[in-house]
Homo-oligomer: A and B are copies of this chain.
Amino acid sequence: MSTQKLHIGIIGAGRIGRVHAETLAFRLPESRIAAITDVNREAAQAVAARCNIPRVAESSAEILANPEIEAVLICSSTNTHADLIVAAAKAGKHIFCEKPIAFSLETIDAALAAVKGAGVQLQIGFNRSFDANFARVRHAVTSGEIGVPNLLHIISRDPGPPPLSYVKVSGGMFMDMTIHDFDMARFLIGDEVEEIYTAGAVMVDEEIGKAGDLDTALIVLRFRNGVIGAIDNSRKAVYGYDQRVEILGSEGSIATGNCYPNQAVVSGAKTVYKDLPLNFFMERYTESFAAELRSFVTAVLEKRTTAVTGIDGRIPVVMALAARKSYDERRPVRMDEVGG
């Protein structure tokens, strides 16, 4: 057991910031949180007390100026991500940044250039490839267990739509929600998508439509290697968080089921039933949130490249732009039409 510890500063003490702080504090002996900050100082103080963080910083600038801090976690709102990446890179800090980097490719490219210039590590918070189910599916592909992949399905449905106020600043469903599925598609197949076709609709809440977004979509992906994929998205599945994938390969198929709070089945007088799946991402992806941070901390300590790099943060944004363009124009859209 190494005694080396990575000293970390956390920018943002909202929901995901708190989750990451608890992981670092209670499950990753290889890390030490030196300071935390948030525009809501009370939130930062609460997390600091909970997680034994010695310092609540006045600002992100204070975090970045702290010479003891080697790496930062950027868990603040999306509109601040790119600027903070640039600033952190200039300060020579390694960076873990929540997704998406930004909604605009120019902004993303500027941030990635700063990271490259500074020679620091950058990991994007796409956590799902760290999930045991999806890792098992990926293994079935890389090991040849199911032969050559032909068809991919991703079912990704939220238990309910976010507040309308959030929808309006979210960048839209493709940028906010499907972006994780784009990440998954690339991870599972291990190749890039060339063309996207979107059939989308407003079925859950017409207010979402009035805000210019959609809430239901079937997105067809054509990969360079010929694989055809489908992403099924809905902002509302009354039974909870629905997160499944399936791949048909030349030698077999692999499919994952949802995760449940227990393995009990009740046979009653009317039906045979089980409890609903784990409701949302905090319950469903608990372990993958921890695993992505463990991966980041280890990579930085061991001077290895992180598992989910800047380009892995950029490409799903391109895919989200293509999906939206296809939805708007009702035709297949090639990635190079939007992605530069």
* Chain A interface residues (CB < 8 Å from chain B): 1, 3, 26-27, 29, 49-50, 52, 132-133, 135-137, 140, 145-148, 150-151, 153, 157, 197, 199-201, 203-204, 216-218, 220, 222, 226, 228-230, 232, 234, 236-240, 242, 248, 250-259, 261-277, 330-332
B253 touches A267 (CB 8 A): yes
Q: Which residues of chain B come closer than 8 Å to A201, judged between CB atoms?
A: 150, 226, 228
Report the bound CA distance from A236 to B146 in whole Å: 13
Whether A239 contacts B269 by the Cβ 8 Å rule is yes
The distance in angstroms between the C-alpha atoms of A216 and B149, with both chains bound, is 12
Of the candidates B133, B251, B262, B332, which one forms a contact with A264 in the assembled complex, judged by CB atoms under 8 Å apart? Answer: B133
Task: List the B residue with the shortest CB-CB distance to A246.
Answer: B155
Q: Which residue of B lies closest to A218 (CB)?
A: B228
A220-B199, A228-B199, A230-B230 are known contacts. Are A274 and B275 too (CB-CB below 8 A)?
no
- A3 surroundings in chain B (CB, below 8 A): 49
Number of copies: 4
CB atoms of B256 and A133 under 8 A apart: no
Residues of the B chain whose Cβ atoms lie less than 8 Å from the Cβ of A261? 132, 136
Whether the Cβ atoms of B263 and A239 lie closer than 8 Å is: no
How many angstroms between the C-alpha atoms of A157 and B252 in the bound complex? 12
Whether A218 lies near B220 (C-beta < 8 A) is yes
Bound CA–CA A199/B256 (angstroms): 24
Whether B264 and A136, one on each chain, are in contact in the complex, defined by CB atoms closer than 8 angstroms, is: yes
Residues of B within 8 A of A240 (CB): 267
CB<8 Å pairs between A and B, sample of 15: A1-B50, A26-B29, A140-B266, A197-B197, A204-B250, A217-B228, A234-B248, A237-B248, A238-B250, A238-B252, A239-B269, A242-B267, A256-B262, A267-B277, A271-B275
Closest residue on chain B to residue A151 by CB atoms? B232
* Chain B hits for A269, CB < 8 A: 238-239, 251-252
